[in-house]
Structure 1
Amino acid sequence: MAGRRVTKSAVNWAAMLERVHPKQQGNFIAFKAKSDVYLRRVLANPESLPKIDWAFYKKTVPVAGMADAFQKQYESMKIPYPPDTATALVEAQEKQVMEEVKKFVQDSNARITDFQKELDHINSLLPIDQMTMEDYKDSYPELALDSEKRPTFWPHTPEEQPGMEKRDETAGH
């Protein structure tokens, strides 16, 4: 990637904007504007060093060999382009994240299947407003009153049930 000239953005800004929260879209648009300004500034500069008419300078410069020395130095000049050390890290991170996303999607699909089964079961029952107490007990045995296994007495608070100690109302006064 070193030495390659960037001529246009590789970012799909429209797809990215769709994923930005509506409250953050102003910040995103400002960021895109800064990116566009930077890209225009880069593109305003020439891709390579400007060509110099050395023959003209060799004829007009009175010091012998000076234009030749400048030409040699100019043509041997290499502007260093920073090495790309981040792409491999980003690609590795992207691969890891994509695996996590794939696992999350699989887990979510499994949960959706379970929830759909539960929803189908609930939809197969009578509506609660049409149920009798017996229907409710058959449909929701863990929630229904069971006077044989779990009897409760009015006012049906835990403190009023058999086997519970009464709180001392005067304690702490």
Structure 2
Amino acid sequence: MRLYRLLYSASRVTKPSTNWADFQKNLPEAVSKEFKEFIASSQAIATSVSSKSETKPPIDFDFYRQRLSDPKFVDMLEKQYNDVQVPYPEDTEGIEQKISAAWDAEKEYAEKLYSFADGYQFINEKMIEQLTMLPRYEDMTQEMLYYYFPESMNRKSEYPHTVKVNKLQNDPGLKQFMTFKSWNITKKVPPPVGEGESK
């Protein structure tokens, strides 16, 4: 919920109210319960704050002057009451700047994550496209399997180096297991540049 709280805090700084419907669209279903509790708590605080008056409630000091024996005492109370000033809370700890900085960092991270996910999506779509072009599994032979997936055949084997013993993929069309050697199906890789040359 850390990111969502930052999003809410940032929206409260830049906007007078929160659009809860749009806010909920960006949340996964797994946090729906916490989101409802968060809305209830936020609305309770907003209701409590809005119920308070922005100015001091008026007091009829003349009413008390007429009923008290010492009007000067009422004058003193009236003066002290009128002199009371409640300053607007100041952001002495720079919370607004911290929220803005955290929002920028989260936004940058989200953009990188979106780009990373788009790259994986492109790769997976290309892979699916290539898989749809392959022959059917029933028509796949051992040679075709090696041709399309050479890395699956280039693996360590055990004596007696048969397909049956090493549990390699067998062609369903074959009536019996093939007994070719593992080194006969290993992909031939040319040596690196510089190796194998006569000095």
Normalising by structure 1, what TM-score?
A: 0.65
Number of residue pairs the alignment of both structures matches: 148
* Structure 1: segments with no counterpart, 5+ residues: 1-7, 163-173
Partner of 2:29: 21
Name the CA distance, whole Å, in 2 between partners of 1:114 and 1:26.
36
Partner of 1:91: 100
* Structure 2: segments with no counterpart, 5+ residues: 1-14, 168-180, 183-199
Identity of aligned residues (%): 23
Name the CA distance, whole Å, in 2 between partners of 1:103 and 1:30.
31
Name the CA distance, whole Å, in 2 between partners of 1:11 and 1:97.
19
SS at match of 2:150: coil
Name the CA distance, whole Å, in 2 between partners of 1:71 and 1:99.
56
Q: Tell whether the 8 Å contact from 1:128 to 1:136 is kept in structure 2 after alignment.
A: no
Change (3 A) 1:108 1:26: closer
Once the two structures are superposed, what CA deviation does each residue of 1:104-140 show, in whole Å capped at 9, x if it has no partner? 1111112222222222222222222222333222212
Once the two structures are superposed, what CA deviation does each residue of 1:125-162 show, in whole Å capped at 9, x if it has no partner? 2222222333222212222489xxxx82365249xx99
Read off the aligned partner of 1:72 and give its amino acid letter. K
- Which residue of 77, 82, 87 corresponds with 2:89? 82
Read off the aligned partner of 1:111 and give its amino acid letter. Y
Name the CA distance, whole Å, in 2 between partners of 1:50 and 1:98.
44
Once the two structures are superposed, what CA deviation does each residue of 1:30-57 show, in whole Å capped at 9, x if it has no partner? 3322332232222222121012345555
Matched, 1:40 2:41: no
Change (3 A) 1:113 1:25: closer
Partner of 1:66: 73
- Which residue of 37, 47, 65 corresponds with 1:30? 37
Name the CA distance, whole Å, in 1 between partners of 2:166 and 2:96.
64
Partner of 2:125: 116
Normalising by structure 2, what TM-score?
A: 0.58
